[in-house]
Structure 1
Amino acid sequence: MCSATKPVGLSIISDPDMRPILTTPPCHTVVMELIIGLLVIVILVLAVMVMRQANKSTLLPINPQNFDQAALVDAVRTAVDAQVGKATQQALQNVNSQIDRTYQARTQTLTTETKSLLDPVATQMNELRNAVTALQSNYTNTVGVTQTISKQIDSLNQTTSALQSALKSSSARGAWGEQQLRNVIELAGMLPYCDFLEQTTVTGNDKTQRPDAVIKLPNDGCVVIDSKTPLDAYLRAQETSDATLHQQLLNEHAKALAGHAKVLADKKYFQQFDRTPEYTIMFIPGESFLADALRA
């Protein structure tokens, strides 16, 4: 620490030989180092001034009165200002360099952190984009399939309407039932004239009858099948939205089927054919026709 009894400063004294001597108070701090630096600058300035003075008056004795104190003060001030300016400039350069390094490091850190945060988001966005593309493709395919199904439904509705109109005629219903019976027999693997006969005319008990099909069995046996399609009440039941009327029409449909079964039993086909069981099979060309009649 500096001495507390004497302020820090510069003093100029003269020795007996009239040479100026610079003295400083004892100090071991940073301030002392700065003062030493300034003293070095002052000495250099004095040396330059002495050399200039020597050029003007050669071999003249040095006299303290020959020194211009104002010029000395100006020189010291200029030197100090230059040193301080240089130190300030260097400090600013160091600060700017440190700020730049800190900025670059922070920017790199932020870039890395931002990338680590955004990369998963970018991946998820790509996955979402792919999923949306797949959904759009599936939607397009679904729309195409739906349109195809809609056209098929329209065609089926038209066919159903045409069939329903045709089935309102009893003769058309009879022909349709016979065709359905033929289809079922052929799907079973039977061949006409070989395994079954259609519309065979038989005479007995003073009457002529013609069953729709006769299925041939081994040992000259046979089974008689007749097709019946009593659908008047059934078709009207499908068209009504009144639940009570719907049930009444189904009851009529069941009675019509039972009446056809009784008429078929009264025909006693087994009496016109040899080696045949004493019953006749009644073919109904629609499972729902029989199911609704049984539920009624």
Structure 2
Amino acid sequence: MNTPSARPLSHPLARRWLLASCVPVLLVLGMALTVPPAPAESARSTTASMPGMPGMPAEQAGSAGGLAAEQDGYRLDVATAGLPSGRPTAFRFAVTGPDGSPVTDFAVHQTKKLHFYAIRTDLTGFQHLHPAMAEDGIWTADLAALAPGTWRLYADFVPNVGAHPRELVLSRTVTVPGEAAPVPLPAPTDTTTADGHSVTLTARPMAGAHQLTATISRDGLPVTDLQPYLDAYAHLTAFHEGDLALAHLHPANAVNGDHGGPTLTFQALFPEPGNWRVFLQFQTAGQLHTAALTLHID
């Protein structure tokens, strides 16, 4: 199945927003308002939510994929296929529904109405943001400076429709101009550090999925003061080296105030074997830490 070509934001308010806010950017970048099919876009539509494992609530099951711009009538519409290099930028987009208009009613999941991720194709530059939505359904993600190259941007959301709203992950690629300097993927390992914390992550196959165990320490002592982040003691995002498929999950550990750690357990459904770049986010003393490592899945 061919990846759907982009269409302009069709809602009247969206058109006014495009005319007001995007013309300067388009003049600089010399690009059209709509996004053409990018070569890096996947040719297959990927299921955004994976079924829960037996005996495990669905919200604890890791979802993976997110390589399509459109699914179930919902579409990620963006104003430009390019972003500036080397400086923060406000990236605006909309999620349009089956009627072609921007969706404005989203269910809250993991404490937010929409989660937004950015990663360069060499799996560097990870950003996890929570954009603001205007009344007309236009979202603004305040991206930190992007290095030149091709980036994939993901929107993770739950349309607030029907008796059983379903999580969707949609994405598109954008180009940041300039000479790209790809960074080799670090070799697989089970340990890394983040802001003085040591993190060990191990993966064990189980019933067609994997159980991930993260252990966090500092100065050789177990960390037991993890604070809730997005209603959990950690958030784990992983990207596949081959096609940038996304997997995200939270630990199964019950939240009990600022007393998380030192060990967190995740159950993940990785759809493909190979190397995954993993970003584990956790919080202590009001500071968010991000630990990154390469995990190999057989």
Alignment TM-score > 0.5, same fold: no
* Structure of larger gyration radius: 1
Q: TM-score, normalised by structure 2?
A: 0.21
The structure with the largest helix share of the pair is 1
Of structures 1 and 2, the one with the larger relative CO (CA 8 A, separation 6+) is 2
